[in-house]
Amino acid sequence: MRVILFGATGMVGQGVLRECLLDPQVDLVETIGRTATGVTDPKVKDVAHADLFHYADIEAELSGFDACFFCLGGSAAGMTEAEYERLTYQLTIAAARALCKLNPQMTFVYVSGTGTDSTEKGSIAWARVKGKTENELLGMPFKAAYMFRPGVIQPMHGEVSKTRLYRVLYSVTKPLLPLLQRLAPHYFLTTEQIGRAMINVVRKGAPKGVLEISDIRDAAKS
C-alpha cells in the first residue's frame, strides 16, 4: 500500500504515521505539508509544499497512490466562519481534487469530527463547514471515501497537538482521562485506533461512508 498523508506533524497525523510504519503491507508514506516531519525511516518520503491550495507544480509527486489519509485541521476558535471555511473546506477540497484527478482508484479518508452537520444548515458554524467538506468529498469519483468522526482522542505514544488550545486541554485533563474513559468510554478513541482503522478501511472497505466513534473502533479491530 502506498499512502499520502496530510497533517503528519499534528497529533492525529503522528499517530497515523506510526501505525503506517508498523504495518508490513504499507510500503510508502509520502507526507505533504509546509514542513517536513523529520522522521528518518525508509518508508517515509517528506514533500515540503508551501502552498496547500495549489498542486500543479508537484503533480509528479502525487501519482501512483492507493490511499490518502487527510489529518490536517485545527480549531475554529478565534476564526470567522469565512476564515475557517478557507482553511477547512477550501484547503481540503483543493488537495482532494488534485489527488482524484491523478489517482482515481484512491481511497480518501478524511478526519472530521463528531457533531459534524451533514445538512449544512445547523446553528454551529464549524459543524456546517465540516459537513460541507464531507459532502463534497463523498461526491468525488474516488474508488472510496470515508469520513472519520472521532470525539475525544487520546494520544498513545507521545503524540502532541500543534494547536495550543488542544495542548492546554490535554495537559489539564490528562490526570482525569482514566476516570472519564470509565464514565463515558464511547466518546473516546486512541491515536492507535484511528490509524489502524484508516489502514483497514483501505484494505477491506466499510459499510458506510461516514464513520462515527463506534464505527471507527470497529474498523480498527477488523
The closest of 187, 192, 194, 189 to 219, measured between CA atoms, is: 194
Q: Mention every residue, 6+ apart, whose C-beta is less than 8 A from residue 75.
A: 163, 165, 166
User: Domain 2-221 is of which CATH architecture?
Assistant: 3-Layer(aba) Sandwich (3.40)
| DSSP H helices in 23-163 | 81-85, 91-102, 125-138
DSSP class of residue 88 equals I
Query: Residue 30: its pLDDT value, please?
Result: 98
DSSP class of residue 220 equals H
Query: Residue 153: its pLDDT value, please?
Result: 86
pLDDT bin (cut points 50, 70, 90) of residue 159 is: low
- Do 150 and 9 meet the contact criterion of CB atoms below 8 Å apart? no
Query: Residue 156: its pLDDT value, please?
Result: 73
Query: Residue 77: its pLDDT value, please?
Result: 82
Q: What would the pLDDT profile of 71-92 be if each residue is shown by its tens digit?
A: 998 888 889 999 999 999 999 9
Give the chain's mean pLDDT: 91
Query: Residue 33: its pLDDT value, please?
Result: 95
The closest of 215, 195, 209 to 154, measured between CA atoms, is: 195
DSSP class of residue 87 equals I
Alpha-carbon span 86 to 28, nearest angstrom: 30
Listing DSSP states for 174-199 in one string gives GGGHHHHHHH-GGGEEEHHHHHHHHH
Alpha-carbon span 5 to 106, nearest angstrom: 13
Q: SS3 for 151?
A: coil
Alpha-carbon span 220 to 222, nearest angstrom: 6
Alpha-carbon span 142 to 100, nearest angstrom: 6
Q: Which residues on adjacent β-strands are paired with residue 4?
A: 30, 68
Q: What percent of the chain has pLDDT above 70? A: 87
What's the rounded mean pLDDT across residues 128-155?
Answer: 95
Alpha-carbon span 21 to 106, nearest angstrom: 19
Domain parsing of the chain, residue ranges: 2-221
Q: What would the pLDDT profile of 160-217 be if each residue is shown by its tens digit?
A: 666 665 565 666 666 666 666 666 667 789 999 999 999 999 999 999 999 999 999 9
